[in-house]
Structure 1
Amino acid sequence: MNRVIDSHIHLDLYEQKEIEEIMAGLNSAECTDLISVSFHLDSCLRNLQLAETYDQVHPAFGFHPEQELPSDEELQDLFSWMEKYQKQMVAVGEVGLPYYLRTEKGTGFSIDEHIDLLEQFIVKAKQWDKPVILHAVYDDAPIACDLLEKHGVEKAHFHWFKGDSKTVGRMIENGWFISVTPDLIYEKEIQELVKKYPLGQMMVETDGPWRFEGPFTGKMTQPIMIHDTITAITSIKNCGREEAYRTLYDNTAKFYRLNMF
């Protein structure tokens, strides 16, 4: 059996009918588990509800960086809630830095407060003994690496990563993980990343409901697409199909301690 785990999906952002379709199709997709990441407190609440409804769903709680910063009161509410439900979450995430928001806003946009917020999440993750799921790409990635190293974080997951070769080497040396989406099929930048990154530090994801191009144009993003990603990984890494499936599955299950849930 070629089992897979979707290591990064925003299940709460799908319509209810779509969620039901995805969950009903997990067996045929040979997908045993979903790591559903959160956008903000309301998203955390919805992901907890989904995890209580479906055994295959494992929630991560956090605040996505590509949005306006929360108020002090909103942040305190979020941290208090996460503290209360820390046993139910497999990780702190999705957290990180607002590369695309900063690009959109242009000059004059400061990320200092975003850096401070990310550090607060990293400190909480250490305190709660949870992995960190990161949105940190291009110029923001080294900043995130600085914070992870400062606080001695061993379990970091950079999802849908893009960055320079020096940062990639730094991430590999620290033992941190990346995850790859179906855009591996048609994106040269991601293909080059997969060439460099060790299979033993890699996972696969959909980042649904984000939609993909190429052979996936017009299709709802769902876990069955991961099999196409793994086929591409085996070709790029020149490894056996069975080895790729087993390694990617075991990487994710161990990283998120799924046998404990």
Structure 2
Amino acid sequence: MGGHKARPYVYIFYMHIIDTHAHLDHLENLDQALKNAVESGVEAIVAVSMDLNSCRKNLEIKKNTRQPKIALGMGMHPSEANRQDVGACLDLIRANAGELSAIGEIGLDFWYKWVRKNQAKKDEQREVFRAFLEAAKELDLPAVIHSRGAWRECLETAQSAGVRKAVFHWYSGPVDVLNDIIKAGYFVSTAPSVAYSPQSREAIAGAPIEQTLIETDCPVRFKDPQTQQEYQAEPRDVARTLKAYCVLKQMDEDKALAVLNKNAREFFGITN
């Protein structure tokens, strides 16, 4: 079989770029990914958690990592929501509040039909979500919200809980909900899919850069729009998000990065 081999993606060095959403505890080769991140100019990574065990692992990662900076989020992802572990997870959060930059990843996910039809599962997600929103308010920490298929309900629940700061991570929902998220003073983030996904592009196009963050959601797999090949994201791929975001918004990369970094530092309390 003939044909040309796809050329590997060339990473551009961006000084002080920040990945605001990564599942570091899920990376197969964490040490290499962190090394790649530093060599690509990644200053900080927000490590979010999926469940109780994930919270424990990410706490250890934060304690054992010097570069890049690790900003820690603890919480329970809606796909892992279970009442049994909520108390232990909240105890861990309160015991390590000084180490935290966020409560997350938390939220609701009604994307799949089997979940939408399962009232007990939806109610459990709602109960767990509210418990962590209360912790975010109590500790005055930002909430990192997963809202797929439940965008409006997540917004209304966060507002009713009195959460001051929230980011709707990898937002790909309706524009009318986006507008209300922005009006509420909350943020949205976008991922490498902004390079090719119509939903991601439409959703983020209407968000002001002053209320936008960039992320990878690694180790999620994305598509390289140039080669059409899939790749498994790691923190350095936040550079891909930045580049695609700037193409969509027709913005200068350096100017956009200055604003996006300022957003991330202020939102998560990341110091230089």
1:36-64 deviations in Å (ceiling 9; x for gaps): 11111111110000000113122110011
1:78-107 deviations in Å (ceiling 9; x for gaps): 11111101111111000001224x523452
Aligned residue in 1 for 2:9: none
Q: How many Å separate the matches in 2 of 1:118 and 1:48? A: 21
User: In the alignment, is the contact (CA less than 8 A) between 2:47 and 2:71 conserved in 1?
Assistant: yes
Give 1:210 shift.
0.8
Aligned residue in 1 for 2:142: 131
Q: How many Å separate the matches in 1 of 2:220 and 2:70? A: 18
Cα distance change on mapping 1:142 and 1:33 into 2, 3 Å: same
Residue identity opposite 1:65 in structure 2: P
Name the TM-score, length of structure 1 as normaliser.
0.91
Residue identity opposite 1:244 in structure 2: A
Question: Across the two proteins, how many residue pairs are aligned to each other?
Answer: 254
Aligned residue in 1 for 2:193: 183
Residues 61-70 or 106-115, more deviating: 106-115
SS at match of 1:115: helix
Q: How many Å separate the matches in 2 of 1:76 and 1:108? A: 24
Aligned residue in 1 for 2:23: 10
Unaligned runs of 5+ in 1: none
Aligned residue among 92, 97, 116 for 2:127: 116
Matched, 1:89 2:130: no
1:158-181 deviations in Å (ceiling 9; x for gaps): 111121121111001011111111
Give 1:219 shift.
2.7
SS at match of 2:61: helix
SS at match of 1:95: strand
Percent identity among equivalent residues?
A: 24
Q: How many Å separate the matches in 1 of 2:81 and 2:87? A: 16
Aligned residue in 2 for 1:64: 77
Matched, 1:245 2:257: yes
SS at match of 2:193: helix
Q: How many Å separate the matches in 2 of 1:119 and 1:10? A: 22
Name the TM-score, length of structure 2 as normaliser.
0.88
Unaligned runs of 5+ in 2: 1-13
Matched, 1:99 2:110: yes
Taking only aligned residues, the RMSD between alpha carbons, in angstroms, comes to: 1.7
Q: How many Å separate the matches in 2 of 1:160 and 1:190? A: 8
Matched, 1:162 2:172: yes
User: What stretches of structure 1 move > 6 A for 4+ residues in a row?
Assistant: none
Matched, 1:75 2:86: yes
Matched, 1:22 2:21: no
Give 1:229 shift.
1.8
